[in-house]
Amino acid sequence: MNGGNIIIEGMVEVNMYDVAIIGAGVVGGLIARELSKYRLKICILEKESDVSMGASKANSAIVHAGHDAKPGTLKALLNVRGSEMFEGLCAELGVEYKRIGALVAGTEDEREILNELLERGKKNGVCGLRIVCGEELRAMEPNLSDNISCALYAPTSAITCPYELTVAAIGNAMDNGAELFRNFKVTGIRPCDRGYELISPNGEISSRYYINSAGLHAGEVCTYTGGLDLQRTVRSGEYMLLDRECAGFVRHTIFPTPTKHGKGILVTPTVHGNLLLGPTSIEREDRDDTSMTPEGINEILEKTRKTVKDIPYWKVITSFAGLRSVDDDFIIEPGEKCVNLMRIGSPGLSAAPAIAGYVRDRLAEMGLELIPNDNFNPNRKPCHALSDMSPDERNKLVKQNSKYGRIICRCEGISEGEIVDAIRMNPGARDLDGVKRRTRAGMGRCQGGFCSPSVLEILARELGIRLEEVTKSGGDSYILIGKTKEER
């Protein structure tokens, strides 16, 4: 490890780091976790007030089997490898993972494209792929539209929760010694004697090596050291999320037959029992514009009808959009004691565990010594998820701590105890959306209409701040701005 102290804002002294990771998305998070298996001093630098604020919070949450990527590409290699690692990773981190399988649905005219996809999948090394049709297909998925006659079945395709995975990966890395700096937007990188100084308006840190996993902003970060911004077109993907009453409406992830524009608009269960419809693929100039559009909603309605019939669209509880690059391949470019990751669009979530290993190997090639950390604990401290407990288990927990008996979010059945855990565990929730992503409080049918005031109170109490200081999502997104009636 290294000495050499440096100063960041607030005159806090910190040591020099071995590796600094820019961006706390699923890729940066899993890289941090991977590197925390070794005796290294690691930090994660995130421009937002919380982790998982980029593409990793708003995507389809599919762990793709790997039949879509062009054979021979890094995408194909890391997708298949990552998908194989996913189940074990989620078990260690206590994150939901369900291998429900996927159907790429086609009409008779599209059968040839499905055959090509099957061959492509075989070349990529995907197991168990086959074409299904007729009664077998209807039995597997009774709500497919009448015009669908065949499908490519990918049994290894799965679903997960991308933001829970990101939080858990970063939490586990932190439990194993990594440090997280929030509100640390890297705006410059300066080479220095022993590596680099990473500069932000809130201070600087020094590191021997750095990883640029800043998602759609990685190209911009590359230019800080004279590199090229290879991040190209950005596309928005809009979604509609339907109530948990729709659980079981489809059993698999249903894709349309892909076109040259991409994988198309899917219909899938989520690990929490909702039904997810989307994403669209609309070009955006602004790399932060996650607005929804009427055109996007109409496209979702029109296109999902082609694969699945009688979708109960009126059960929609919310909509959201995520941004990604749409390119043939990932770019993972080792530089002088750094690695730049660009164009990590879909299937970046599926590939993320394998990307972490790939980046680790590149660092080792550059001379970073990887001495195993004997104290590394791969398991994240389990959260108390009441919804997964039997009545006896719940009663026992409530007897130990009555906070688990006070239900705050009625839609999702989330207790005060679980919210307190989310604030106290690494990386602790600091705002309303942070609690929502970690516990699901506010994710249900009323979308926080009922529980938000109570969550605000718990946040203020736990963080030792005034109610007016609690934000929705960091920055100046204050929720309370004053009193309606002054007390006498």
Ligand X SMILES: Cc1cc2nc3c(=O)[nH]c(=O)nc-3n(C[C@H](O)[C@H](O)[C@H](O)COP(=O)(O)OP(=O)(O)OC[C@H]3O[C@@H](n4cnc5c(N)ncnc54)[C@H](O)[C@@H]3O)c2cc1C
Interaction site with ligand X (CB under 6 A): 22-28, 45-48, 53-56, 59-62, 64, 185-186, 213-215, 217, 221, 237, 279, 322-324, 344-350
- Secondary structure of 205-221 in the HEC alphabet? EEEEEEEECCHHHHHHH
CA dihedral for 407, 410, 413, 417, sign (positive or negative): negative
324 or 360: CB nearest ligand X:
324
86 or 404: CB nearest ligand X:
86
Catalytic residue among 64, 67, 252, 384: 64
Q: How far is the CB of 487 from ligand X (least distance, A)?
A: 40
Distance CA 337, CA 208 (A): 7
Q: State both tokens at 247.
A: 């659980």
Q: How far is the CB of 79 from ligand X (least distance, A)?
A: 7
Phi, psi of 151 (to 5 degrees): -155, 150
Q: How far is the CB of 64 from ligand X (least distance, A)?
A: 5
264 or 348: CB nearest ligand X:
348
Kindly state the helix (H) or strand (E) to which residue 164 belongs, with its residue range. Answer: helix 162-175
Q: How far is the CB of 56 from ligand X (least distance, A)?
A: 3
Question: Is 319 within 8 Å of 276 (Cβ atoms)?
Answer: no
User: Which value, in Å, is the radius of gyration of the alpha carbons in the chain?
Assistant: 23
Q: How far is the CB of 143 from ligand X (least distance, A)?
A: 21
Q: Return the SS3 of 468.
A: helix
Q: Give the list of residues 6+ apart from residue 4 with CB closer than 8 angstroms, or none.
A: 15, 16, 194, 206
102 or 419: CB nearest ligand X:
102
Q: Count CB atoms within 10 A of the CB of residue 332.
A: 20
Question: Is 132 within 8 Å of 82 (Cβ atoms)?
Answer: no
Phi, psi of 432 (to 5 degrees): -60, -45
Q: How far is the CB of 76 from ligand X (least distance, A)?
A: 13
Distance CA 354, CA 359 (A): 9
Long-range contacts of 461-464 (CB under 8 A, 24+ apart): 462/420, 462/423, 462/424, 463/423, 463/430
253 or 415: CB nearest ligand X:
253
Distance CA 278, CA 281 (A): 9
Distance CA 306, CA 145 (A): 6
Nearest to 303 by CA among 275, 273, 266: 266
Distance CA 148, CA 108 (A): 7
60 or 257: CB nearest ligand X:
60
213 or 415: CB nearest ligand X:
213
Q: How far is the CB of 330 from ligand X (least distance, A)?
A: 9
Q: How far is the CB of 12 from ligand X (least distance, A)?
A: 18
Q: Say whether 67 is catalytic.
A: no
48 or 457: CB nearest ligand X:
48
Distance CA 2, CA 473 (A): 35
Distances (CA, A) of 416 to 237, 420, 425, 458: 34, 6, 14, 8
Which residues are 192's β-sheet partners? 195
Nearest to 373 by CA among 89, 21, 34: 34
346 or 415: CB nearest ligand X:
346
Q: How far is the CB of 279 from ligand X (least distance, A)?
A: 4
Long-range contacts of 185-189 (CB under 8 A, 24+ apart): 185/47, 186/22, 186/45, 186/47, 186/214, 186/221, 186/224, 187/224, 188/224, 189/221, 189/224, 189/225
Active site residues: 64
